[in-house]
């Protein structure tokens, strides 16, 4: 037995036996799919994970087979080779992200790679991977990274479950005419009430409030080309993606038509960063929106107004108007951009 295997099988005297049993039980609950066109690689990775205590493991010889497995039963972690014939690891990641978005689930994705240099890895993270492992994988590193990825998936799915519970609460509020019937998010009336509350809190505690206005670019062309039913599908999908991009505590609202608003509250004004809105714009543009008429790519323009809790507190109407003016500034400057 080589030193690595000995180390993997050697009991850790510094940890009590009950702790080890807890870890093993946790590992047993983690669902893993290994995707690699090379049988030898699949066997090696599966064996290493089994030694680390993981038992719920499925193997797929191609990305297409892995997607079928995910349709049959979700997985917490997908380990995939970057370079495979047909659909490669990056394309598989994009498919998984699309399915996660549609099903309200999160799957952690780790790619095995022999790629060198920063640029390929930056591209991979931008396209949705959670982590990567150099080939051939070290058994200890493999187990550690899978454990970390499983925690990420668990936290994300807990947040999604919380979001689903919030959605149920919002549905109950529909009787009070505070939600948009098509998208299920807050309407203008609820937005103004929440914005006033956040402004008062920020003024009293020196926090910050950011109000964001978003408008789907050239939305009229979508309605004119595909019909209003497809336009409604785009609005619903746009809302879903927006809610998954912003923080769970941010309030997403449909202000009317194709205009949306987001209230972002900060307990400390210095925590506000325009980069958070850049991520929103990147997410909107990341992939086309699926509709009954096919995939439709869209862009959005964003206007932002931020109150840092100092000076005279703006009125709700002034804040909405200021963000709306910035929105039209972004549109007049060529659309698909942020004005703040």
Q: Determine how many CB atoms are found less than 10 A away from the CB of residue 174.
A: 13
pLDDT at 25: 39
**In whole angstroms, what is the distance from residue 287 CA to residue 269 CA?**
32
Backbone angles phi, psi at 301, to 5 degrees: -105, 145
pLDDT at 176: 62
258 is an active site residue: yes
pLDDT at 166: 84
Sign of CA dihedral 265, 270, 271, 276: positive
**In whole angstroms, what is the distance from residue 263 CA to residue 190 CA?**
11
**CATH 3.40.50.2300 residue spans of the chain:** 3-158
Q: Which helix (H) or strand (E) holds 34?
A: strand 32-35
Using alpha carbons, list the distances in angstroms from residue 249 to 244, 255, 282, 285, 330. Answer: 11, 18, 20, 23, 26
pLDDT at 178: 82
* Nearest Cα residue to 42 out of 60, 30, 66, 63: 60
3-state SS assignment for residue 276 = helix
Q: Determine how many CB atoms are found less than 10 A away from the CB of residue 164.
A: 11
The separation between the first and the last C-alpha atoms of the chain, rounded to the nearest angstrom, is 62
pLDDT at 179: 85
pLDDT digits (tens, 9 = 90+) for 201-234: 999 988 999 999 999 999 999 999 999 999 999 9
The CATH superfamily label for domain 3-158 reads Response regulator (3.40.50.2300)
Residue 186, beta-bridge partner list: 179, 253
pLDDT at 122: 85
Q: Which of 102, 116, 141, 258 is catalytic?
A: 258
pLDDT digits (tens, 9 = 90+) for 280-305: 999 998 899 999 999 999 999 999 99
H-assigned helices in the chain: 3-9, 17-29, 39-51, 63-72, 89-103, 118-126, 139-173, 188-205, 219-226, 228-245, 275-285, 316-332
Low-confidence ranges of the chain (pLDDT < 70): 1-28, 172-176
Query: In the Cβ-directed half-sphere of 289, how many Cα atoms lie within 13 Å?
Result: 25
**CATH 3.30.70.270 residue spans of the chain:** 177-339
Domain 177-339 CATH assignment equals 3.30.70.270? yes
pLDDT at 76: 94
Q: Can you say how many angstroms the Cα of residue 190 is from the centroid of all Cα atoms in its chain? A: 25
CA dihedral 220, 191, 287, 115 (to 10 degrees): 160
pLDDT at 170: 73
**In whole angstroms, what is the distance from residue 80 CA to residue 87 CA?**
11
pLDDT at 24: 37
Q: Determine how many CB atoms are found less than 10 A away from the CB of residue 41.
A: 18
In contact, 264 and 273? CB cutoff 8 Å? no
């Amino acid at each position: 037995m080589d030193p690595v295997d000995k180390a993997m099988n050697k009991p850790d005297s510094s940890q009590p036996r009950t702790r080890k049993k807890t870890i093993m039980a946790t590992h047993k609950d983690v669902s893993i799919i290994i995707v690699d066109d090379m049988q030898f690689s699949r066997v090696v990775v599966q064996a290493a994970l089994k030694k680390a205590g993981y038992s719920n493991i499925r193997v797929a010889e191609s990305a297409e087979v892995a997607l079928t497995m995910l349709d049959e039963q979700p997985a917490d972690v997908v380990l995939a080779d970057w370079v495979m014939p047909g659909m490669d690891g990056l394309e598989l990641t994009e498919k998984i992200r699309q399915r996660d978005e549609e099903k309200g689930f999160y799957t952690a994705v780790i790619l095995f790679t022999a790629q060198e240099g920063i640029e390929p890895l930056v591209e991979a993270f931008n396209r949705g991977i959670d982590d990567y492992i150099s080939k051939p994988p070290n058994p200890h590193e493999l187990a550690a990274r899978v454990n970390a990825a499983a925690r990420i998936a668990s936290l994300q799915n807990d947040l999604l479950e919380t979001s689903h519970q919030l959605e149920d609460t919002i549905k109950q509020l529909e009787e009070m005419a505070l939600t948009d019937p098509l998208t299920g998010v807050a309407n203008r009336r609820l937005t103004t009430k929440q914005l006033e509350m956040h402004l008062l809190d920020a003024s009293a505690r020196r926090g910050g409030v950011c109000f964001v206005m978003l408008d789907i670019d050239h939305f009229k062309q979508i309605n004119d080309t595909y019909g209003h039913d497809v336009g409604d599908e785009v609005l619903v999908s746009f809302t879903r993606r927006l809610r998954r991009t912003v923080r769970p505590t941010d309030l997403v609202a449909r202000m009317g038509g194709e205009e949306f608003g987001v209230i972002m509250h900060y307990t400390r004004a210095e925590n506000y960063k325009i980069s958070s809105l850049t991520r929103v714009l990147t997410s909107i543009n990341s992939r086309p929106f699926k509709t009954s008429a096919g995939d439709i790519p869209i862009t959005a323009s964003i206007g932002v107004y931020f109150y840092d809790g100092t000076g005279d507190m703006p009125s709700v109407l002034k804040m909405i108007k200021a963000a709306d003016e910035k929105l039209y500034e972004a549109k007049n400057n060529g659309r698909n951009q942020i004005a703040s």
